[in-house]
Structures are given as C-alpha cells and as structure tokens.
Chain A
Amino acid sequence: MTLSRLHEELAAASHCAAGCSQKQAVWHSGKVTLYRYQSIARPAAAAPLLIVYALVNRPYMMDLQEDRSLIRGLLAQGLDVYLIDWGYPDGADRFTTLADYIDGYLASCVQHILNEHRLEALNVLGVCQGGVLSLCFSSLYPQHVKNLITMVTPVDFHTPADLLSKWVRKIDVATWVGGGNVSGDTLNQLFLSLMPFRLRQQKYVDLMSGTPDRARIENFMRVEQWIFDSPDQAGAAFREFVTWFYQENRLIHNRLEISDRKVDLRGLRVPILNLIGKRDHLVPPPASLALQQLVGSADYTALELDLGHIGMYISARAQHEVPAAIAQWLEAR
C-alpha cells in the first residue's frame, strides 16, 4: 500500500459509522432513549435483557461492527436485547442527579419493558459505571430484576491498584464541577493520563507499523472514534458519583442512599453473574470481585476473563466467550 493510499484509507475510515445491528427506539424521555434490537435468531426462553451502559462514553461500543459486537453475539444467542442510550447531556441537564438516572430514567425504561412483555421482572446487564447503576436499581427494585449481570463493574473503589480513585480522593469535587457539567474532553484527557505513554504514543506507532489494510484501519478508527466521543457529564450526577463512590466508597460501607432510600446490597438476593477483566486497568479485578462479599445472593458467579476493559466488549476472544457465557448462565435460571 502506498502512503497516499494509506492517507485515503485513514480519511475514509474516520467517517465510518459505528453500530451494525438493527434497532428501534421504543421509548424516550429528554435525551434518554431506550432501544430494542431486532432479533437474528430463534428466541431463547429468557426474559428480555436490558443493557445499562455507563454515563461516560457512548454505548455503541457494545455493537461496534459485525465481528466485534457483544450485542450481536447476544442476539445470536436468541436473547431479546434492549439498550439504554443516555444521550449527550448539555447545560440544561446540569442538575440531573443519580436519582434521576436510576429512579427516573432507568426505572421508567424497566417499567416500559415490563409493561410491553407483561412481565414482573427482566434481566439486567450493567456495564462498568452502568453496572453500579444496575446494582443500585436492583437493590431498590429487586422485584423487577430476575437476574443481574455486572460487567467490568467497580464495587470497591478503594482497592490499591485503582489509580483513578487515588487521584480523585483529595479533590474538592464540588468546586471542581462547580454549577456546570464536566466536559467529555476533560474525561478523555483523564483516561489517557492513566497510561499516557501507551495511549498517547505507542498505539499510534502500532497503527503505522502494522499491516495497513482497510479492515484494520477501519477497526482502529472506529475504536478511536468511540474513545473520544465522550459526552459531557451532568454535573450533579457526576459530583455524586465521584463523591459517593470514588471518595466515600459508600457501597462498601453500606451508606448509600438513592432517592432517600437505602441501597443495601446485602438485601440483593437475585442471581448474579459478575464478569471481570483480569487485565482491566480502569476497574482492577479486586474492585469487582468485592461484590461477592456484599450481596445477599446465594446464586453468585464470578467469571474472570483474560481481557482488558475494552477488550471485554470488542476483542475476538470476547465475541466467542462472553455472549455464550451470558446466555448459558441465563438459560440455567
């Protein structure tokens, strides 16, 4: 490949659209949209699966391209998949709280699905920060959750390897956030700063040094687009999340309240599957493994995979292992 061709490939790939599976918006409120994915396989005998993604970053990482799509893998297992897209908060959303997200939007999405299917409970898959939101929701509304799956979800925010937590623990979050939102650009720089030499240098050298074929470049650019497509964070919710979880570690100390209601994980007795990335630099494995000691569920399964944080969604290995593991686990319940 000539350099001119490489340039053309990069320029073309930078505009490629992420997301591959057919979906339909079935509910929305404000900037939040609930999607239902079109099935591609014979339906499994399982309740609908609602994916609760993180507020940071965009959920299309779960459906990046056909051969790197956790959602597609779940659909291929016959699961009925829903996904919450939190949207891009702007200045008008600065006072949106965690209670609004959990007790408002998330609860409304669940209610919509339950009404549509005439069910009492559904399956919930919480991803990263979305896993924390899912834990809170499941604790507040256990009657609506049949099975809970947490993926790369931090629970203990004070484990020794948690660099992000160490950094923010002494920061005056209220002053830092002020009355506004936290920009996605700031969060991008923060995440890059966790491994700056690799993320700001080496990966681009890898890009140039590897095989310059179109598929590889497009893969790279899709992930690059996702990494830097970071929504601003609603100021109030961000402040609460950093203070309550990163600084005060309230889940561990059993001191968390949402909407004036106690979030007591000891009362959480639904079956739980905890998916952990052994090489996760954002959520160190011990931060997730702590869940077992906190919940009251007698049916708890931890599955540690030799993957990183992002690899859990998009690596070739994840495509083979994760959807099948989830489907089998659900089928057994």
Chain B
Amino acid sequence: MSSDPWQQWRAFSALFTPGAAAAAPGRGGPASFAPFTETAERFAAAARAYMDATKALAAAPADATRMFTDSLRELFADFQPWNAGMGTGPGGAPSGFTTNTAALGAAREHQQRGERMAEAWRRFEDAQRRLQRLGADMLRDAAAHLASRLGTSAPVDNPEALRKLYDAWIDCAEEAYGRTAHSEAFCNALAESVNASADWRRELLASMEHSAKFLDLPTRSEVNTVLQRVKTLEEEVRVLRKAAEPKAAEPKAAEPKAAARKARPARPKAKR
C-alpha cells in the first residue's frame, strides 16, 4: 500500500465508487464513500497546488495561502450538514398555490391548505438561504484561521506534511463551525427550517388523508385512533392483572433489610 494517504484515497475511491468497477472487478461498494473520497482528493489537489506554488516561488507565500484557502472555501461550499440533520425538508416541487388570495366557495378549505403549504415552503427556502449564508461565512472564517496558522513559511512537500495540512484544515473548519453552530442566528435559522418543513409535511398529510377518505382507504389518523384504543385497553388489562395478583408476587418486603445489603450469590455454579 502506498504511504501517500491521498494516493490511498484515490485507490480506495476507485474500489468503492460505482462506475470504477475496472479497478476492482466484480466488487461493488458503498456509494456513501464517494463524497468524502472526492473531497479528500480535491483537497489533495488544492494542497498540491499550494505546495507547488510555494516551492517554485511562482507566487508569494501569502498569495499562495490565499489561493489555497479560497479553493477550500469553494470546495466545501456545498458541505451543509444541517440540511440533513433535522429531518428531511420539503422534497417535492413547491405548490402552485400563492398566498393572499381570497378563499371563497366550496373549495376554500383546500385552497387554504394549499396556501399554508406554499407559505411553509417559502419559509423553508428562506431559512435554507440563511443557513447557506452562515455556512459561507463559516468557511471564510475557517479559511482565515487556516491562513493565519500557515503563516508565510512554505510547507514541506511530503505525505506527512499533506496530512498535517489536512488535519489543520479540519481543525479550523470544526472550530469555525462550532462558533457558527452555537450562534443565535444559526439556531434560529435551523429551527425555522425544521419548523417550516414540519408544517409543510403536516399540511401534505392532511391533504393525502382527504384523498384517502375519498377512496375509502384507511388514513393514518384512523390507524392512530385504533392504536390508542389498544394502548388504553392494554393499560386497563395491566391494572386489572396487577390487582388480581396475590401479594406474594410483591418483592419480599418482609425479609430483613440486612439481607438486601449483602445479596446472595444467585448462581452457585459461577466459575471460580
């Protein structure tokens, strides 16, 4: 195996990324590896360019650092864990309903439901935009910290230096992310994103239940009602059974308390 982690990653990617079957004939692999493999490789390419620039002195170290950190910001621009973090957002196309239209006539309830869905979608998109802005700021913050950590000295061009550079970037990114994630603005935007998607989902469910009733199909609400009745019955049975149990089933309260202090070994055949 190569000692260069980035070459390892390239080979690893070839083994596990669908479409790279030629590198590993007959073996499939988890596609989930692809995103971070690709990111690692792109990081390696940017780092290589940075090292080459500083080595050849084609650019001043400060300029090379700026170019490097800019490329990292671009590389991680789509890295938005919060999108997946709190449940799926509205996945479908936005509703054709618009808000601020008078709801009149027999279809007014459906119209209002559609308007609520459209409004929830608008709130969700707005929250996502706020999160994206915060994400961009976070990456700028991370890049600035990495640049200050790199200073003006040129790094040594070897696999260990590359790995240290990567770890330094992860440290800076994580620290910047931590500052952002703890901020009021981020918490507000994240909560609004989750709340809006939950509102949208609730209205969608109501809409689907309406259609199900029309087709005489059981709805989730009806199933829930049955489940709650079963749960209530189970609780009643449990209470009745407990009341019917003889007192002997209670813990041996009559035993001297000293017995509880030193429990009897319950397994005489225990290995010694």
Contacts and interface: CB of A to CB of B under 8 A. Distances in A.
B196 to A, nearest CB: 10
B8 A209 contact: yes
B246 to A, nearest CB: 13
B169 to A, nearest CB: 8
Nearest to A202: B170
Nearest to B23: A3
Given A80-B266, A167-B86, A118 B227 contact: no
Contacts of A47: 260, 263
B132 interface: no
A35 to B, nearest CB: 14
Given A3-B11, A47-B260, A95 B227 contact: yes
A180 B253 CA distance: 41
Given A95-B228, A198-B170, A201-B36, A178 B205 contact: yes
A298 to B, nearest CB: 17
Contact of A7 (B9, B27, B257): B27
Contact of B1 (A3, A146, A166, A190): A3
A212 B201 CA distance: 45
Nearest to B39: A201
B39 A178 contact: no
A305 B81 CA distance: 30
Contacts of B163: 205, 209
A43 B267 contact: yes
B101 interface: no
Interface string B216-244: 00001100100110010000001000000
B81 A121 contact: no
B227 A94 contact: yes
A7 B182 CA distance: 39
A39 B174 CA distance: 44
Contact of A195 (B174, B202, B270): B174
B265 A43 contact: yes
B141 to A, nearest CB: 13
Given A175-B199, A205-B40, 17 more contacts: A4-B24, A39-B271, A111-B251, A114-B252, A118-B259, A120-B257, A146-B260, A167-B187, A170-B187, A170-B195, A175-B198, A186-B88, A197-B177, A201-B39, A204-B36, A205-B36, A208-B12
19 contacts: A7-B15, A7-B24, A39-B271, A43-B265, A43-B266, A45-B262, A46-B263, A118-B251, A119-B252, A119-B255, A120-B259, A179-B221, A195-B174, A197-B177, A204-B40, A205-B166, A208-B9, A208-B12, A212-B1
